[in-house]
Amino acid sequence: MTEVVGRIRPASNVPTRLLLFGGIALLIFCIFPFVAGEFQTNLMAKLLLFGALGVSLDLVWGFTGILSFAHGVFFTLGGYVAAYYLKLNLSASANNYGGTLPDFMVWNGLTELPWFIAPLQFFPVAAIAMLLIPAGFAYVIGWFIFRSKVSGVYITIITLAISSALTTFFISQQAYTGGTNGITDVSKLSLLGIVIPPIGLYFIILFFTAALIAGGWWLTQSNFGLILRSIKENEKRISYLGYDVAGFKIFIWTLSAAIAGIAGGLFVPLNRFISPVYLAVAFGTQVVIWVAVGGRGTLFGPLIAAILLGQVQNSVDRITQDWQLIVGFILLLVVLFLPDGLMSLLPKPLRFTENNQVTGYLPPAPKKR
């Protein structure tokens, strides 16, 4: 792991046009809640989180070549942590039974708070767990997968199995997870005793997404990013040069899971619920679609696709419930005519992907002492 972290070195100067267009985009998003209604502001905040989730998958699929359907799992794990915190801090008068024990636990015969859930009623513990639980779960899975040199479609199959198994498990543990309904009617998020209004949540989510895009660009344009792209292009060659390929895969896999967990944690105070629906393969497939439609290895593409497809879904949903057909048709068009995603429609100077090709020289890894 020391070798992996040691390869994260700053990229060259940030292109002026990237700063310019990034600044303009950020300004537009900052103005948006003041000209749009409350519904559109909440919807945009939700789509920004989904875009951030897409970016987390892009780090492992677009840059490293690892196709995963399990990022909805990491998103949901972070969401459940946040939901427990908000549910446990709901006032006794707001609970259906007038007590501090969550209603779904009372319905299922529990008389006291389980020991492994009780610490989540404290904000510092919940904030750390929201990041560490998805990351820790991903690290364990990644260690077994990548140290065993599993690759290709077999990784995808494993992530599908994980998603299906956890969905069944969470539904079956109704006393602890709320079952099919999940955890609903949670309290509003408050910091230092101050309740965060919807517009405040929007700006927190916007800051998180902007920081993720900036950090992702910095990471992928560093020497570390060059190694990731080299692993995607020719894993065996990188291994022959002496690099710990499994270590790099485990690191980016765990980092992306932590990002997904934070996105899930922010999703709960915005939508006031979390359920096993987001664990299921269907949601994991949506994340894959955002990355595929937007453009793998672009960072900006998944965010743009999540926002565009989310708005399409919102518009079509008013007319018909079969919005999946429209999204499927869009995906078909992209696969057939735009294999590099929507970002390929932009002029090359505006794609900010010139450095996303495997260029430069990778020297042999330094020998371990």
Output the tens digit of pLDDT for each of the chain's 369 residues: 555 655 555 555 667 778 888 899 999 999 999 999 899 999 999 999 999 999 999 999 999 999 999 999 999 999 999 999 999 887 544 565 556 788 889 888 888 899 999 999 999 999 999 999 999 999 999 999 999 988 889 999 999 999 999 999 999 999 999 999 999 989 888 887 788 999 999 999 999 999 999 999 999 988 999 999 999 998 888 988 889 999 999 999 999 999 999 999 999 999 999 999 999 999 999 999 999 999 999 999 999 999 999 988 888 777 766 767 777 787 788 878 888 888 888 766 555 554 444 445 566 666 655
Q: How far is CA 198 from CA 83, 203, 269, 277, 286, in A?
A: 17, 9, 9, 24, 25
- Angle among Cα 261, 209, 53 to the nearest 5 degrees reads 40
pLDDT of residue 7: 56
Domain boundaries, the chain: 2-281
CB 41 within 8 A of CB 33: yes
pTM of the shown model: 0.91
Q: If 0-12 CB within 10 Å is exposed, 13-18 middle and 19+ buried, where does residue 20 land?
A: exposed
Among 86, 273, 264, CA closest to 183: 273
What region does 299 belong to: left with phi over 0, alpha with psi -120 to 50, or beta?
left
Token pair recorded at residue 327: 């999204």
Q: Which position has the token pair 């972070």?
A: 78
Supply the pLDDT for residue 356. Answer: 43
pLDDT at 107: 87
